[in-house]
Amino acid sequence: MARKLAGKSVVKTPDIRAVAALARVSIATVSRTINGSSAVSERLAKRVWQAINQLNYFPNTHARTLVSGRSRLFGIIVENITNPFFPELIQSFEEIAVAHGYEILVSSSNSDPARLATCIRRMLERKADGVAVLTFGEEEPLLEQLAHHHMPLVLAEFHLNSPKASTILLDYSTGIQAAVGHLSELGHRKIGFLTGPRKLHSALTRENDFRAAIKEAALPSHKSWIIECDHTLKGGAAGFTQLRSLPDPVTAVICSNDMTAIGVLRAAHFEGLRVPRDLSVIGLDDIDFAEFTLPPLTTIRLSRTDLAHAAFDALRQQVEEQSLGAIRREFLVTTSLVVRGSTAPPAWGG
Amino acid sequence: MARKLAGKSVVKTPDIRAVAALARVSIATVSRTINGSSAVSERLAKRVWQAINQLNYFPNTHARTLVSGRSRLFGIIVENITNPFFPELIQSFEEIAVAHGYEILVSSSNSDPARLATCIRRMLERKADGVAVLTFGEEEPLLEQLAHHHMPLVLAEFHLNSPKASTILLDYSTGIQAAVGHLSELGHRKIGFLTGPRKLHSALTRENDFRAAIKEAALPSHKSWIIECDHTLKGGAAGFTQLRSLPDPVTAVICSNDMTAIGVLRAAHFEGLRVPRDLSVIGLDDIDFAEFTLPPLTTIRLSRTDLAHAAFDALRQQVEEQSLGAIRREFLVTTSLVVRGSTAPPAWGG
DNA sequence: GTGAAAGCGCTAACAA
DNA sequence: TTGTTAGCGCTTTCAC
């Protein structure tokens, strides 16, 4: 039907039959040669590979998926592709996946349950072999749906009660403790915290780890020193303003992510405050930009490559491990402090 | 085989036959109802939809693709997902695509021909219905391969001689002229330009447009005022250093993209220069960050949503338009100047 | 070690 | 308007 178009015959892309014909073998032999699924004599294998190269043949993944039930497609759902942390994460995940012969389906939920529902539906329709849910969010009810379809899953910071779900544990406390320790050594006593949206697990965990670190360091704390922001640049700027209006301002602030911290840097500048002289600022993530802010941002590094690796490994184990039982269910990714230029001893107060 | 696992029978995801059986119609009727491909009586359609909902059925896209030859998959290849311009672009493209029932396959070439080859191969294997190549690059030879497979294509700034390829023209000159005009009005006479890698079409075009604008404004020009950078933060910083070492330094600089400009901002700060008092800086792209640099970046805006729309429309026309001939082959996306805080009259020289 | 043949779930041509 | 049926390109029994 599409073979003749305006009288000009169109070359059809070669299929397994064309290869078989050229190599003078059966299509089964071609399939076996490509997949290495069972032994093929060297003589025939050679002829097959020759034919494949000659025709520039590659298998139709859809046909393959249809019969084998495996798509070699991994989904990755992130919170917000517009926060540089996530592209960097996706980039790592893609590299690893492609190196292992997988393709990826990217979606961002934008912390919107309706959008997440669409994402999930798309993953289901495309028959992803597994999905990494790196939204750090509060949309668990929806995830039940994925689990219900027996979709291998890996979640950040959340346990789903499904035999096919594993969890990546994020150890923020190591990095946060280091940050509080660093500030304390510098002489700061009054340290604020700009959290992310509290509906996010990750934000809540970070906040709790901060509280614990403050307590452990025997530093004073005050309710008004912890302010809920939204992990965006604008949110950080707004948070700063709120922080400054306090009767008894802090001398240092730790932010739930780098975007927030960068927002603070900017707002501080506009209000005439010099960082770090008048205020020390620490971020969390260590996005590529962090090194290029003014001043360069001291931050708690959360490795994207570690996270991507953990996510991919978890998924692959679920999918490829037939020895059910030997599967690792929990993966740990840790954090560490990177000291740059946005922290210094307090100029006043202390 | 997978139906019995540890003695527990697993529910198979429903197929079209299950729906047909439940609705007491043929599978063809189910297919027709879903696709609206030909009229189905209301009575039966209602029964079908009921069955679909009851079973929570959705079609298997792979089977669909196999028989129809259409995957409803669009590829998008970008230059570097780590430059915030591209995630913002991908986000727009994804939104539009999903709204029209398409899925997207994201890849980044990193300006590496070998990687681009892999990307192309992946698009071909997954039988993308079309690919938007937004690498702004110099990898045309490879694209011939895509064109050769009759893959509908849309390219930025490059004409491919294929009946299935269309082009998005980027009008940088409007924005660049405005930038030069703005600087000139401010009193600047010596304006530098930090280009991107010259192997990129876009970088070369921007540079040429800059030269033309300078000429038109009757401003002086000097070979050493144009420096090749690489569109990264680090590259911008390096470019700045080079610019400062000139015997007769410029008072303003336009950068080929925002990343470069942000790198300049940072390097200038470290060398003790104040922007914009000592140096005016203009970027290009207007990434989300541009508003949050110190000072906020004056920049030439290139709309991601416009670009994404153009790319999607171009692709969709190629794929869905059967009336060959009525297809638009060229799309135009324009640029404009956004004045913020990184430009001011020159303090000295002028 | 190799080939023949039965589908995977769906669309579309053809019949009724 | 509806149903029957032939594949789409591939993997995987099952014979040989």
Give residue-wise pLDDT tens across range A80-103: 888 999 999 999 999 999 899 899
B10: which DSSP letter? P
List, for residues A198-249, the tens digit of each pLDDT value.
Answer: 988 899 999 999 999 999 999 999 999 999 999 999 999 999 999 999 998 9
Helix axes B172-186 and B201-216, enclosed angle (nearest 10): 40
Cα–Cα distance between B135 and A139 in angstroms, integer? Answer: 35
Task: Give, to the nearest 10 degrees, the angle between helix A85-99 and helix A304-320.
Answer: 40
- Identify from B56, B61, B270 which residue to disrupt to test chain A contact, counting A C-beta atoms within 10 A and taking the largest count: B61
Structural Rg of chain A based on CA atoms: 26
In this predicted model, what pLDDT tens digit does every residue of A136-175 receive, in sequence order?
Answer: 876 777 888 778 888 899 999 888 888 888 999 999 999 9
pLDDT digit string, tens, across residues B189-212: 999 999 999 988 899 999 999 999
| A124 contacts B58? CB cut-off 8 A | yes
pLDDT digits (tens, 9 = 90+) for B171-182: 999 999 999 999
Q: Quickly give B66 CA vs D11 C1' distance in Å.
A: 15
Distance, CA of A238 to CA of B1 (rounded, Å): 57
By CB atoms closer than 10 A (0-12, 13-18, 19+), residue A229 is buried
Which residues from A are below 8 Å from B107, CB to CB? 94
> How far is Cα B282 from Cα A13, in angstroms, rounded to an integer?
49
* Strand D footprint nucleotides (protein C-beta < 7 Å): 1-5, 7-13
- Answer whether residue B7 shows pLDDT above 80: no
- The pLDDT of residue A36 is 92
Nearest to A13 among B62, B105, B149 (CB): B149
Distance in angstroms, CA of B283 to C1' of D3?
64
User: How confident is the model over A52-80, as pLDDT tens digits?
Assistant: 999 999 999 999 999 999 999 999 999 88
Distance CA A100, CA A91 (A): 14
Q: Across all residues in chain B, what is the average pLDDT?
A: 90
Q: List residue ranges whose Cβ is under 7 angstroms from nucleic strand C.
A: A 1, 24-29, 32, 38-41, 43-45, 63, 66-67; B 12, 15-17, 27-28, 30-31, 34-35, 37, 59-60, 63-64, 66-68
The answer to whether the Cβ–Cβ distance between A62 and B60 falls below 8 Å is: no
In chain A, which ranges are continuous DSSP H helix? 16-23, 27-35, 42-55, 61-68, 85-99, 113-125, 140-148, 172-186, 201-216, 233-244, 258-270, 304-320
Phi, psi of A46 (to 5 degrees): -60, -45
Best of B11, B65, B240, B294 to substitute, by most chain A Cβ atoms within 10 angstroms, is B294
- Ranked by mean pLDDT, the top range of A144-158, A291-305, B129-143 is A291-305
Closest CA to A136 of A329, A318, A302: A302
* Residue range A93-134, pLDDT digits in tens: 999 998 998 999 998 888 888 888 888 888 998 999 999 999
Residue B112 confidence (pLDDT) above 60: yes
Residue A236 Cα, gap to closest chain B Cα (Å): 11
Q: B250: closest CA among B210, B323, B317, B192?
A: B192
Q: Burial-class residue A312 by CB neighbours within 10 Å (0-12, 13-18, 19+).
A: buried
Which residue bears the tokens 């025997």? Answer: A218
Q: How far apart are CA B13 and CA B101, in angstroms?
A: 21
Measured CA to C1', the nucleotide nearest B39 is D1
pLDDT tens per residue, range B12-22: 789 999 999 99
* H or E segment and range at residue B179: helix B172-186
Question: Can you tell me the mean pLDDT for B236-255?
Answer: 95
Banded model confidence at residue A323, pLDDT cuts 50, 70, 90: low
pLDDT given at position A8: 39
Asked whether B18 and B60 are in contact (CB, 8 A), the reply is: no
Q: Are B200 and B137 in contact (CB under 8 A)?
A: yes
| Band (A5; pLDDT cuts 50, 70, 90) | very low
CA A118 to chain B, closest CA, distance in angstroms equals 9
**What separation in angstroms does the CA of B167 have from each of A97, B75, B286, B314, B327?**
31, 16, 22, 8, 12
Distance between the alpha carbon (CA) of B66 and the C1' atom of C13, Å: 17
Name residue B166's beta-bridge partners. B154
Closest by Cα among B168, B231, B236, B237 to B203: B231
Residues facing residue A301 across a β-bridge: A285, A336
**pLDDT beyond 70 at B2:** no
Identify the pLDDT of residue A319. 86
| Average pLDDT of the residues in B137-143 | 75
Within chain B, how many helices (H) and strands (E) appear?
A: 12, 13
What share of chain B in percent tops pLDDT 90?
Answer: 74
∠ CA A277-A283-A284, nearest 5°, is: 160
Residue whose CA is minimally distant from D3 C1': B26
Residue B102: φ, ψ to 5°: -105, 155
Residue ranges and CATH numbers for the domains of chain B are 2-68 (1.10.260.40), 73-171+303-336 (3.40.50.2300), 172-301 (3.40.50.2300)
What are the distances in angstroms from CA A276 to CA A181, A242, A281, A346, A350?
A: 17, 18, 7, 8, 13
**A104: nearest Cα among A312, A304, A287, A306:** A312
Does the CB of A31 sit below 7 A from strand D?
A: yes
Interface probe for B, chosen from A53, A78, A106 (most Cβ of B below 10 Å), is A106
- Band (B75; pLDDT cuts 50, 70, 90): very high
Q: What is the pLDDT of residue B161?
A: 82
Residues B286-340 pLDDT 10s: 999 999 999 999 999 999 999 999 999 999 998 887 555 557 789 999 999 999 9
For residue B323, what pLDDT is reported?
52
Indicate the burial class of A9 (C-beta count within 10 angstroms; 0-12, 13-18, 19 or more). exposed
Q: Name the residue closest to the C1' of C7 by its CA.
A: A67
**Which residues in chain B have their CB less than 8 angstroms from residue A291's CB?**
233
At A244 the pLDDT is 93
B63 Cβ within 7 A of any nucleic strand D atom: yes
**Residue A346 predicted with pLDDT over 60:** yes
Percent with pLDDT over 70 in chain A:
94
| Residue whose Cα is closest to the C1' of C3 | A26
Q: State both tokens at A40.
A: 């093929």
Q: What is the mean pLDDT of residues A314-342?
A: 85
Is residue B132 a contact partner of residue B315, using CB atoms and an 8 Å limit?
yes
Per-residue pLDDT of B252-300, as tens digits, reads: 999 999 999 999 999 999 999 999 999 999 999 999 999 999 999 999 9
Whether residue A284 is predicted with pLDDT greater than 50 in this model: the reply is yes
A32 touches strand D (CB under 7 A): yes
Alpha carbon B283 to chain centroid, angstroms: 18
